[in-house]
Structure 1
Amino acid sequence: MTDILVLGAGYTGVVAAIRTAVRTRRTGGRVKLVNASPRFTERLRLHQTAAGQRLADLQLEDVVAGTGIEFVQGRVAGLDVERRQARLQDGRVLGYDKLIYALGTVTDASVPGVAEHAFVYDDYAGTVRLAERLGALTSGTVVVAGGGLTGVESAAEIAEARPHLHVVLLTRGRPGSMMGERARAHLDAALERLGVEVRTGADITKVLPEGVELAGGELVHSDATLWTAGTRGLPLAAESGLTVDAHGRIVVDAALRSVSHPDVYAVGDAAAVSQPYGVLHGTCQGGIPTGLHAADSLAATLRGRTPKAFRFGYVHQPVSLGRKDAVIQFTRPDDSPRRWYLKGRAAITYKETVSSSPIPTFTLLKRGLVPVWVFALSAGLG
C-alpha cells in the first residue's frame, strides 16, 4: 500500500485527492485528505459571503463520499519532510509515502496593522466576521485595500448589497489594470455607478483600528477595512526545509514535484509553477489543472512511468461587479488581454457558469472523467 496525504481541501486539494484516489485505486493508493474545517469553502465566492449572501453548506465528507478517501479534520502545525510526517495542531501525527501540498496562500500581512485590524479572506470564518461587522453598520465607510480582481469584486459586491455604506477602493494602480482598455472602461463605469470611491496611487503604510494611514501621513477613516493587497505562502513550507520562492511558494519541477523533495507535490496557489511565459499566479483557473496534473504525475510514478510535463494557458479574466453586472476579459495563454470581452448580462451568465458549484466537476472526477475545459487549459490552448 502507498499512503498518500493531501494537505488542504480547497478546489485544488479536493480535485487532487479525488483524481489521485481514482488513478491509484488499482496500485494500492490510500488517500487521506486533511483540512482545518469540515466545510468546503467556495473561495471564488467569498466576496458574496462578505456582502451577507448565504452560500451552499458543502461538507467535505459528503464531497469525497464514495471515493475511498479518508477525511481528517485538523489544522496542520508542522511538516517533517525527512521523516515524511505531518503534525496536526492537536498533536496527531500522520505519516505518508507521497504528499500533495495544497494549503494555498494567506494574506501578506507585512504592512503594519493588517493582522490586528483588517479583515481578510484567509478562511470562511473570517469572512463571516466581516459580513457580521458590515451587517451591524447603519452607516459609515468601508475601505477595500487592493485594486486587483478580488478587491474590485469585493468593493462592487459590498457597495451593491450595502448601499447605505460608503465604499472606498484604495489601490496603487488602476483597478483591473491587467485588462484591455474597453473592459477596464466598463469596470470603471460599474464602480462609479455603484458609488465606489476609487483612489489610485494610494500607498498604505499602516492599518489602524479606525482607518488606514497613507504615505505622507494622510489618514483615511474606515469602520471596516478589508485587505486584498497580496498573498504569500504559509511559513510551514519554508520551515519544513522545502525550497520556496520569494513569496513562500514551493518551487516545483515540470511534473509539479518539489525540486528539493520529490515525494512532495505542490499545487495551486502554494506552488511556484513555471511556464514559458513566467510563473503562474494564483487563480482557480490554473489551480484545478495543477491538482489534476499532480495526481496524474504521482500515479505515473507509482507505475514506474515518467510523468508528463505540465502545460497551461490562461483563457479569461472573469470579474463580477455585484449581482447585476460583470465583465469578462478573454486572454492569450500568457494572460495578456485579447480584443474580445463580454459585459452586462452575457458576462453575468458566463461568470456564473464558470463559477458555479464545483460539485458537477467533482462528480465527473469520481467517475474517472475530466471536464473538457481542463483539457483546453492544460494543453495551453487558451
Structure 2
Amino acid sequence: MTKIVILGAGYAGMAAAIQLAGRKVPVTLVNASDRFAERLRLPMAATGQEVADLRIPSLLAGTGARFEQGWVTSVDLGRRTVSLEDREINFDILVYALGAVPDTSSVPGAEEHGYTLDDRDLLPSRLAAAANVVVGGAGLTGIESAAEIASRYPSATVTLVGRSAPGATMSPGARDHLQRALASLGVRTVEGTIEKVLPAGVRVNGDFLPADVFLWAGGTKVSPLAAGTETDERGRIVTDAALRSVSHPFVWAVGDAAAIRQQYGIMHGTCQGGMPTGVHAALSIVRTLRGKQPKKFRFGYYHTPVSLGRGDGVVQFTHGDDSPRRFYLTGRLAARYKETVTASPWPTYRRMKRIPASGVFWPHGKRS
C-alpha cells in the first residue's frame, strides 16, 4: 500500500489530509504542535481576544487520517524517510506543506527584542502594559495587527511602519477608507525602513521611535528542510503545473512552501491560495494512484479582505492576478464579510469529503 505523508498541518496541509482521507486513501499528517493555528485570527489572539482552541486530533476525528505529533529534523529524499526528534517515518509520496514563519532575522535586533504573532500567549500581557507599540510591516498582517492593538488598548500609542503606505495596492476608494479607519483608531503610520530594533524602540530612517513592544509582521521565510529539491531564491519548492516538485516528482508542494507559477507570475502565500493547492494536490495524488495523469492547477485571486478592528473593514475585490477591481466594500458590511471568510476554513474542511473527484470550483470560477 502506498504510504503518503504530509508535513505541516496549516490550511494547505490540513486540506490535503482531509481530502485524501475522504477518498479512503491512508495518509499520515505530521505537525510539531497538536494545535491548529488559525493564522487569520492571530491578531485577535495576540490581543487577548477569545478564539477557538482547535486541536488537530479533534479536527481529524472520523476522517481516517493519522496524526503524528513531532518536530521534523530532516527529510531524506533518497531513503524516502522523515526524521522526527525520536523516530523515523517512511513514505512513498510526500506532501510538503511546512509553510512559512516570520523572518525576524531580516531586521537587526528583531529576534532579540521583538515579538511575532506566534508569541500569542505572551503578547496580551505585554501589550496591556505598553505605552508605545510599533508594528513592523504595512501589509495585511501588519494592518490588521495595528488595528486590533489600537482597538483593544486605546491608551497605547500604536505606530505602523512599512516601506509603502497601508493599502498601497488597493483602489483609491478602498485605500482611503483603510487609511481613515487607521487614523480614527489612533494608529500613526510611518513610511520607511526599519534599520534596527533596540531594547526600548526602533530606528527608522535614522529616527528613533520608542517602543515597549515591537511586533514584526513583515517578511517571512520558509523551512530549510526543502533543501535537496529544486528551490527558488526564497527556498520554496519549484513545482510543475500539477504541483509536483520538478526535481522529485514523488514530492508535492503546497501553500507557502511552494513556488507555484501561474500566468500572472508566482502565487503569493495566503489562506485564499493555500487551501486550493492542498485540495488540488490531494485530488491529483488520487488520480495518479488510479493510473491517471494529474491535472494542471489553475488559480485566480478573488478578493483582499482586511479587518480594521471588530466593527470595520475593507474588502477589495480583485482580478485573478490580484490587481484591484473598482468594486470594494467598507465598514460593517466589510467586517461581516471578513468574519465569514475567517470562519470558513473549518466548515470547509467538514465538507471536503464531498468534493467531486472531477475537480474543484473556487469562488473566482476557475476549476482545478
What's the TM-score bracket when you normalise by the shorter of the two chains? over 0.9
Corresponding residue for 1:194?
185
Corresponding residue for 2:122?
129
Structure 1 segments unaligned to the other structure (5+ residues):
none
Structure 1 residue 92, shift from structure 2 partner:
1.1
Corresponding residue for 1:93?
88
Are 1:325 and 2:312 matched, yes or no?
yes
For residue 232 of structure 2, the aligned residue among 237, 245, 266 is 245
CA distance in 1, matches of 2:125, 2:349: 31
CA distance in 2, matches of 1:146, 1:183: 19
Corresponding residue for 1:141?
132
Give TM-score scaled by structure 1 length: 0.92
CA distance in 1, matches of 2:344, 2:111: 31
CA distance in 1, matches of 2:354, 2:165: 44
Are 1:57 and 2:60 matched, yes or no?
no
Q: What secondary structure is seen at the aligned counterpart in 2 of 1:40?
A: coil
The aligned runs of 1:254-293 (5 Å cut-off) are 254-293=241-280
Corresponding residue for 1:16?
16
Are 1:106 and 2:97 matched, yes or no?
no
Are 1:69 and 2:65 matched, yes or no?
yes
Would you say the 8 A contact 1:144–1:170 is kept in 2?
Answer: yes
Instruction: Compute the RMSD of aligned alpha carbons.
Output: 1.7
For residue 204 of structure 2, the aligned residue among 214, 230, 235 is 214
Change (3 A) 1:374 1:55: farther
CA distance in 2, matches of 1:149, 1:176: 8
The aligned runs of 1:274-313 (5 Å cut-off) are 274-313=261-300
Change (3 A) 1:374 1:162: farther
Task: Provide, for residues 234-288 of structure 1, a one-character-per-residue CA deviation record: whole Å limited to 9, x for no partner.
Answer: 11212xx111111111111111011111111111111111000000011100111
Structure 1 residue 214, shift from structure 2 partner:
2.3
CA distance in 2, matches of 1:40, 1:62: 10
Structure 1 residue 324, shift from structure 2 partner:
1.1
Change (3 A) 1:378 1:253: farther
CA distance in 1, matches of 2:188, 2:360: 37
The aligned runs of 1:36-47 (5 Å cut-off) are 36-47=32-43
- Structure 2 counterpart of 1:100, which letter? V
Structure 1 residue 378, shift from structure 2 partner:
6.9
Q: Percent identity?
A: 54
Q: What secondary structure is seen at the aligned counterpart in 2 of 1:243?
A: coil
CA distance in 2, matches of 1:110, 1:195: 28
Are 1:224 and 2:213 matched, yes or no?
yes
Task: Provide, for residues 89-129 of structure 1, a one-character-per-residue CA deviation record: whole Å limited to 9, x for no partner.
Answer: x22111101011111101122221122221113x3xx2221
- Structure 2 counterpart of 1:171, which letter? G
CA distance in 2, matches of 1:188, 1:140: 22
Would you say the 8 A contact 1:39–1:60 is kept in 2?
Answer: yes
CA distance in 2, matches of 1:291, 1:14: 8
CA distance in 1, matches of 2:199, 2:233: 30
- Structure 1 counterpart of 2:124, which letter? A
Change (3 A) 1:317 1:368: closer
Structure 1 residue 205, shift from structure 2 partner:
1.4
Structure 1 residue 377, shift from structure 2 partner:
4.0
Change (3 A) 1:380 1:220: farther
Q: What secondary structure is seen at the aligned counterpart in 2 of 1:87?
A: strand
CA distance in 2, matches of 1:184, 1:48: 22
CA distance in 2, matches of 1:35, 1:378: 32
Moved more, 73-82 or 155-164: 73-82
Corresponding residue for 2:167?
176
Aligned length: 366
For residue 150 of structure 1, the aligned residue among 129, 134, 141 is 141
Would you say the 8 A contact 1:289–1:374 is kept in 2?
Answer: no
CA distance in 2, matches of 1:212, 1:309: 46
Q: What secondary structure is seen at the aligned counterpart in 1 of 2:174?
A: helix
Are 1:346 and 2:330 matched, yes or no?
no
CA distance in 1, matches of 2:350, 2:51: 19
CA distance in 1, matches of 2:179, 2:355: 43
- Structure 2 counterpart of 1:261, which letter? H
Structure 1 residue 208, shift from structure 2 partner:
1.5
Would you say the 8 A contact 1:250–1:272 is kept in 2?
Answer: yes
Change (3 A) 1:378 1:99: farther
CA distance in 1, matches of 2:95, 2:170: 33
Would you say the 8 A contact 2:8–2:96 is kept in 1?
Answer: yes
CA distance in 2, matches of 1:131, 1:92: 36
CA distance in 1, matches of 2:79, 2:364: 36
Would you say the 8 A contact 1:311–1:378 is kept in 2?
Answer: no
CA distance in 2, matches of 1:210, 1:235: 32
Q: What secondary structure is seen at the aligned counterpart in 2 of 1:319?
A: strand
Structure 2 segments unaligned to the other structure (5+ residues):
none
Change (3 A) 1:70 1:373: closer
CA distance in 2, matches of 1:266, 1:378: 23
Task: Provide, for residues 28-49 of structure 1, a one-character-per-residue CA deviation record: whole Å limited to 9, x for no partner.
Answer: x321111111111110010001
